[in-house]
């Protein structure tokens, strides 16, 4: 099956799209070297801007994609030997104040008046960078991958300023060439500009993008035409040292206080204009925001995204291989239970068609947990084929050092090694209507029992109205990915889905339509173990409010004992069968209001002929742009026969964000999780005193709810400085 799936996708991609031309090639913005010095002040008064060509006459993307934008936007770009410059005049179409959440970096796109730049400096319609700002001056930056996805965890060094006027707001930015990667010698980059104006609920782009795709879609960029090849950056070395001090007290345990005094170093070395070497020694990630807790009623391990900066640039070369629940490599497996001593990562473009990613990380020994020192190696090589498709090969090795488990033990605590090797084909048509992938991966271990394999493939079609997707997966019983995220083994999965949208001629409703899907799981013997069938109906208003109602039926045949509350310790027996029906609804209010809210609900059956009722609610109020207050709540009420009877859980999370300026932030976040009997308090102060250089103060407490007492607490003060050599 896997060979035929891979062959079909490769043939489909290469025969239909090998000679495809760039869709918006006629949209060109010519850029020339600056004729005067540029000061980043949000004022369009330099001679260089008067001499620059203007990109204007944007096209509407939503609510409709058949006309010019109602809101006028003018963009100019220029450069000098070290910096790329951008200035944008965002005219108002409707009187009144702008709408933003806060001054926090990497804001939520749909909740802010904003302008974004999407650029493809490799001109491959697949990889690139995004920069922008909201109307209050909060910055946005991210690395682009898969032809239109943006990873906002990426952070780099650049400057910007927003100035507000009665009839417009002006965004001006300076992006050092050293902060981005680009192909040497080419004089044409893919580029597009996106504007979201919440007062008119209009999203627009300079080069037109069909409304079913994000404005970030690199398949629809225009062209930035340089008067000469962008300048070479020369020596491109950045050193980012850190120093921290702090303590952690185990109040509920030994009562001892552990003091921390640490230093470490990151370095970024630009080997070429498109290939980067990252080095790290004794890294620390204490400033990274804590994970959002969830009520866990799942039978399998939950997924929490990577937030650590070192793993993020060109992260798609490592983390995007596979599917949502089949990730051969998951960087959070490295360094969360053991200290990272040092590491290196090489990533970027070798030439027009080839990308490479290679990572090696070394962790230390943890004697109290009998955890040996371990070395992690990941190598990913990607070759572009056709217009926007690619083939990627990946190798992953986890090696325990100076560790020899008992050969007579049936279940050693840690394996001596685990390796994975495989290949993946990613399809993306030139017009983005067809996307998909097919993958095959095999695992290797010290015993033959670890030598399993996995195969998965999907094909998706997205037009303006119709979207359908076919997906199937197979994971063998013995497949092992110790550095991956593969929560279940030994199954076949089949998952077709289809949806259709109507676009009525209405002043209120933007679109509406049904969505249906079926998901089947079978064990290795072909026996059905899981089935979910659902039917939903979606409505989206022109105000950007959304509503969905759904009905579903579920069937589960347990493959191992399971506690349906994940709390009591009592379990349902392996092999028992469970079937139920459920209904639910979801609503999200329009983002233009300073008061926003959303809710979801689920009512219906559950395991063992029980009932489960679930309601979640999110409310927020902002005193824009400085203070944002939010509250999220999740309530589950579960009714089961003995020995469980009735079980209910609250998960409540109030949050306060204070953004005094776009470089000075304070966040206080509380999470009360009744299921795990914990209250978590996390406060985080950040001062960005220079671009990409920060001072953090992080305080964390964990409490037992009843009787109320402190479990542990910690305080960390961390200083980082980005130094260009």
Radius of gyration from C-alpha coordinates of the chain:
26
pLDDT of amino acid 448:
55
What is the b/e burial string over 623-647, where b = at least 16 CB atoms within 10 angstroms of the residue's CB?
A: ebbeebebbbbbbbebbbeeebeeb
| pLDDT value of residue 137 | 94
Distance CA 444, CA 420 (A): 6
Give tens-digit pLDDT for 404-424.
766 665 555 678 899 999 999
Instruction: Give the C-alpha separation, 410 to 278, whole Å.
Output: 40
Dihedral over Cα of 340, 341, 346, 348: its sign: positive
Q: What is the pLDDT of residue 407?
A: 60
The whole-number pLDDT of residue 236 equals: 83
Put simply, whether the predicted model's pTM sits higher than 0.75 gets the answer yes
Can you tell me whether residue 15 is helix, strand or coil?
helix
The pLDDT score that the predictor gives to residue 19 is 41
pLDDT at 5: 53
Distance CA 628, CA 276 (A): 37
Q: What is the pLDDT of residues 14-43, one digit of tens each?
A: 444 444 468 999 999 999 999 999 999 999
Tens-place pLDDT, residues 536-545: 999 999 999 9
The listed CATH number (2.60.40.1190, 3.40.1160.10, 3.90.1170.50, 2.40.10.10) that belongs to domain 32-226: 2.60.40.1190
CA 347 to chain centre: 19
Locate 502 and state its tokens.
């109507």
Task: Spell out, as residue ranges, where the chain has pLDDT lower than 50.
Answer: 1-3, 6-8, 10-11, 14-20
Nearest to 655 by CA among 686, 682, 678: 682
Q: Can you give the pLDDT at residue 494?
A: 97
Q: Return the pLDDT at 126.
A: 87
b/e per residue 327-366 (b: at least 16 CB within 10 A): bbbbbbbbbeebebbbbbbbbbbeeeeebbbbbebbbbbe
Tokens of 7: 């062959």
- Domains of the chain by residue range: 1-17+305-484, 32-226
DSSP state of 327: B
Strand partners, 485: 327
- Phi and psi based region of residue 150 (left: phi greater than 0; alpha: psi -120 to 50; beta: remaining): beta
pLDDT computed for residue 411 by the predictor: 57
Selection from 632, 627, 625 nearest residue 598 by Cα: 632
Strands 678-690 and 664-673: antiparallel
Nearest C-alpha neighbor of 216 from the set 297, 286, 335, 120: 120
Strand ranges (E), 107-221: 114-120, 128-134, 139-145, 149-151, 159-164, 168-176, 188-197, 202-205
Question: What pLDDT score was predicted for residue 386?
Answer: 82
Tell me if 596 sits within 8 A of 102, measured CB to CB: no
């Amino acid at each position: 099956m896997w060979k035929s799936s891979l062959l079909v996708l490769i043939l489909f991609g290469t025969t239909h799209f090998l000679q495809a031309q760039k869709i918006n090639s006629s949209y060109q913005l010519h850029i020339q070297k600056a004729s005067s010095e540029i000061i980043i002040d949000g004022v369009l008064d330099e001679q260089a801007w008067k001499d620059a060509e203007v990109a204007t006459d944007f096209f509407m993307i939503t609510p409709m994609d058949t006309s010019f934008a109602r809101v006028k936007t003018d963009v100019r770009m220029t450069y000098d030997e070290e910096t790329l410059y951008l200035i944008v005049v965002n005219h108002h179409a409707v009187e009144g104040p702008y709408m933003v959440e806060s001054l926090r970096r990497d804001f939520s796109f749909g909740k802010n008046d904003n302008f974004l730049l999407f650029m493809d400096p490799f001109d491959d319609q697949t990889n690139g960078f995004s920069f922008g700002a909201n109307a209050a001056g909060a910055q946005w930056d991210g690395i682009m991958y898969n032809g239109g996805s943006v990873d906002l965890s990426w952070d780099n060094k650049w400057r910007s300023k927003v100035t507000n006027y009665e009839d417009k707001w002006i965004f001006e930015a300076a992006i050092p060439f050293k902060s981005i990667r680009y192909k040497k010698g080419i004089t044409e980059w893919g580029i597009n500009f996106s504007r979201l104006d919440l007062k008119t609920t209009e999203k627009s782009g300079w080069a037109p993008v069909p409304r079913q795709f994000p404005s970030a879609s690199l398949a629809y960029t225009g062209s930035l035409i340089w008067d000469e090849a962008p300048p070479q950056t020369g020596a491109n070395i950045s050193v980012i040292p850190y120093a921290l001090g702090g303590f952690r007290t185990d109040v509920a345990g030994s009562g001892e206080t552990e003091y921390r005094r640490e230093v470490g170093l990151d370095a970024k070395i630009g080997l070429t204009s498109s290939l980067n070497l990252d080095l790290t020694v004794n890294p620390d990630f204490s400033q990274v925001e804590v994970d959002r807790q969830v009520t866990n009623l799942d039978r399998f391990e939950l997924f929490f995204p990577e937030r650590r900066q070192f793993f993020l640039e060109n992260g798609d070369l490592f983390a995007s291989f596979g599917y949502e629940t089949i990730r051969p490599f998951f960087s959070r497996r490295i360094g969360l239970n053991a200290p990272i001593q040092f590491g290196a990562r090489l990533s970027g473009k070798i030439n027009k068609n080839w990308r490479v990613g290679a990572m090696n990380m070394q962790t230390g020994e943890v004697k109290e947990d009998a955890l040996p020192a371990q070395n992690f190696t990941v190598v990913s090589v990607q070759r572009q084929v056709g217009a926007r498709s690619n083939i990627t090969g990946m190798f992953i090795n986890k090696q325990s050092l100076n560790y020899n488990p008992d050969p007579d033990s049936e279940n050693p605590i840690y394996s001596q090694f685990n390796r994975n090797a495989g290949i993946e084909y990613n399809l993306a048509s030139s017009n983005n209507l067809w996307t998909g992938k097919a993958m095959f991966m095999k695992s290797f271990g010290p015993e033959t029992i670890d030598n399993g394999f996995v195969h998965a493939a999907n094909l998706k079609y997205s037009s303006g109205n119709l979207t359908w997707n076919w997906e199937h997966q197979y994971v063998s019983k013995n497949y092992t990915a110790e550095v991956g995220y593969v929560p279940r083994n030994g199954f076949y999965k089949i998952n077709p889905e289809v949806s259709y949208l109507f676009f009525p001629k209405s002043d209120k409703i933007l679109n509406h339509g049904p969505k249906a899907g079926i998901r089947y799981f079978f064990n290795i013997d072909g026996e059905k173990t899981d089935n979910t069938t659902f039917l939903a109906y979606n409505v989206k208003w022109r105000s950007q409010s959304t509503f969905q109602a759904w009905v579903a039926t579920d069937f589960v045949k347990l493959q191992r004992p399971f506690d349906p509350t994940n709390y009591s310790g009592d379990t349902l027996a392996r092999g028992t069968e469970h079937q139920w029906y459920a209904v639910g609804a979801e609503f999200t209010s329009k983002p233009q209001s300073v008061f926003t809210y959303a809710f979801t609900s689920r009512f219906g059956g559950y395991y063992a002929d029980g009932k489960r009722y679930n309601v979640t609610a999110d409310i927020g109020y902002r005193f824009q742009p400085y203070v944002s207050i939010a509250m999220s709540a999740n309530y589950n009420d579960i009714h089961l026969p003995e020995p469980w009877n009735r079980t209910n859980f609250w998960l409540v999370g109030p949050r306060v964000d204070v953004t005094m300026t776009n470089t000075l932030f304070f966040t206080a976040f509380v999470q009360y999780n009744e299921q795990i009997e914990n209250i978590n308090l996390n406060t985080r102060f950040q001062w960005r005193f220079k671009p990409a250089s920060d001072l953090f103060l992080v305080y964390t407490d964990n409490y037992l709810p009843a009787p109320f007492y402190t479990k542990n607490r910690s305080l960390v003060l961390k200083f980082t400085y980005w130094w260009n050599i």
